Amino acid sequence: MFPRKGSSLLHDARRVVVKVGSSLVTNEGRGLDEAAIGEWCRQLAALARDGREVIMVSSGAIAEGMKRLGWTARPHQIHELQAAAAVGQMGLAQMYESKLREHGMGSAQVLLTHADLADRERYLNARSTLLALLQLRVVPVINENDTVVNDEIKFGDNDTLGALVANLVEADALVILTDQKGLYSADPRKDASATLVQEARAGDPALEAMAGGAGSSLGKGGMITKILAAKRAAGSGASTVIAWGREPDCLLRLARGESIGTLLEAPTQKSQARKRWIADHLQLRGAVTVDAGAAAKVRGEGKSLLPIGMTSVEGDFSRGDVIAVRDQAGAEIARGLANYASAEARLLCRKPSSAIEGLLGYVAEPEMIHRTNLIVTR
């Protein structure tokens, strides 16, 4: 999406995560802004009809709960925040459901905590659910599960959550809609000479100096959290756009290539970042040995590893662990993220994918290792 300087870097993005903040969603705390949410949903539906996969990360549950409870100031006690979230989440989910349904799109509420993404098995389960929803042409509407989090497991702001979701689903782009036109060289509310930064490299330390502190009493974010979120999203190759959420047809115009807001370009391509993460930063927990046919498909054709090609399993590993793929001579030819634990993998050796459910009672994935989670090492 969104080419700059002749680049089609984001113009071709097929999977996009859009994040909107509390002040936008709730019209500065006055309650859910039905018109604004309706506009974003209309644009999301249009992008989906254009063949793109879209995920919405929406703040607003606590702010809406505060309004429904008659509170004028954001509480500090965790149990009060959780209560407000529980009340507000009902209206937030209902609003997105009704507005997306008006445009022929289904929606799904997904609530996440940091623990869900820190645990590898829960991480893969969340990923599988979101990818299944996208295949079903359902728009996931994601929020932090504020009703159960505590200080140790809170994301802290939904900008961070948006970046983590972008990494989770390997999105091509993250769009952060905010109440500012983008990132400025200084705070435009205090410095009349401040200029809009149209394009920069995500992770550039100079950006953090420009960002300043939190800007709203409703949310916990501010421009600094958006800069840090862009840096985090860039780790998996997703570039970020920070733009004004009330810009008319903002998402559609970005998709057409207009220059809106601030583009923070990822310095690493998505596939490179993914491969580096698997190859260099994770310990191997086990291995599977494969026959010559499977080895040829994995090494020569870049195919996924199917259970039928496995001949044996070594080690004690869980779903989501990084394991080695070895040929018949015992040499490592690849490594990747296991979709099944070692005990299950032993049952699946030499079996077709169609037999997985009969053997295990469920199907996590048809592959032992999907090609997007696999890197050839030899």
Q: Look at residue 10 in the predicted model and tell me its pLDDT.
A: 57
Q: Look at residue 240 in the predicted model and tell me its pLDDT.
A: 96
For 282-376, CATH gives 2.30.130.10
Structure confidence by residue, pLDDT tens digits, 145-162: 877 876 655 676 789 999
Extract the tokens encoding 329: 């001579």
Q: Look at residue 88 in the predicted model and tell me its pLDDT.
A: 92
Q: Report the side by side order of strands in the sheet with 138-144.
A: 106-112, 138-144, 53-58, 15-20, 173-178, 239-244, 262-265, 199-201
Q: Look at residue 282 in the predicted model and tell me its pLDDT.
A: 53
Burial (Cβ within 10 Å: 0-12, 13-18, ≥19) of residue 236: buried
Q: Which CATH superfamily is domain 15-269 in?
A: Acetylglutamate kinase-like (3.40.1160.10)
Q: Which residues of 149-186 are buried (b: 16+ CB within 10 A; e: fewer)?
A: beeeebbebbbbbbbbbbbbbbbbbbbbbbebebbbee
Percentage of the chain with pLDDT > 90? 62
Q: Look at residue 3 in the predicted model and tell me its pLDDT.
A: 41
CA atoms of 91 and 40, how far apart (whole Å): 17
Q: Look at residue 285 in the predicted model and tell me its pLDDT.
A: 87
Extract the tokens encoding 96: 């997105």
Structure confidence by residue, pLDDT tens digits, 269-304: 777 777 777 776 456 889 999 999 999 999 999 899
Q: Look at residue 31 in the predicted model and tell me its pLDDT.
A: 82
Structure confidence by residue, pLDDT tens digits, 242-260: 999 999 999 999 999 898 9
Q: Look at residue 151 in the predicted model and tell me its pLDDT.
A: 61
pTM, two decimals, is 0.82
Q: Look at residue 7 in the predicted model and tell me its pLDDT.
A: 39
Q: What is the residue-averaged pLDDT of the chain?
A: 88
Q: Return the residue matching tokens 């505060």.
A: 66
- For 322, list phi and psi in degrees, rounded to 5: -85, 130
233-250 mean pLDDT: 93
Domains of the chain, by residue range, sit at: 15-269, 282-376
Would you say residue 4 has pLDDT above 50?
A: no
Q: Look at residue 97 in the predicted model and tell me its pLDDT.
A: 97
Long-range contact list for 126-134, CB < 8 A, 24+ apart?
Answer: 126/168, 127/168, 127/169, 128/364, 128/365, 130/55, 130/165, 130/168, 130/169, 131/169, 133/108, 134/15, 134/53, 134/55, 134/169
Structure confidence by residue, pLDDT tens digits, 90-124: 999 999 999 999 999 999 999 998 888 877 788 88
Q: Look at residue 156 in the predicted model and tell me its pLDDT.
A: 63
Structure confidence by residue, pLDDT tens digits, 161-217: 999 999 999 999 999 999 889 998 887 778 888 899 999 999 898 888 877 644 443
